Amino acid sequence: MACRPVRAERLPEHPLEPAILSPASPDWSLIEVCFLWLSIVSLVLFTARHSRLAGILLTPYLIWVSLASVLNFDVVRLNGQSG
């Protein structure tokens, strides 16, 4: 049962990868990374209910995505919106 949320959490990453990695759309990726962040938070909370260790081990991933979001925000802020 614990594998199911992990699979569901990984699904949003694949459609977002072109938007996040595309240099032409940093503003759209900033919007879409919010959904990724929310899915990771829900995964951490769900797994923490079943295994405290699993929730703790997923928090660096949440921190990494948060840091990447801040860096992406700076790119959007410094370069302006791409349209």
- The pLDDT tens digits of the residues spanning 32-79 come to 888 999 999 999 999 999 999 999 999 999 999 999 999 988 988 888
* Exposure letters 17-42 (e unless 16+ CB within 10 A, then b): eebbeeeebbbbbbebbeebbebbee
User: Taking residues 16-29, what's their average pLDDT?
Assistant: 63
Q: What is the pTM of this model?
A: 0.64
Q: How far is 71 from 77, CA to CA, in rounded Å?
A: 10
For 21, 56, 73, 77, the CA distances from 48, given in Å and listed in that order, are 30, 7, 29, 35
Question: What is residue 83's predicted lDDT score, i.e. its pLDDT?
Answer: 53
Residue spans per domain, the chain: 25-83
pLDDT greater than 90 at residue 4: no
pLDDT greater than 90 at residue 29: no
Q: How far is 17 from 29, CA to CA, in rounded Å?
A: 9
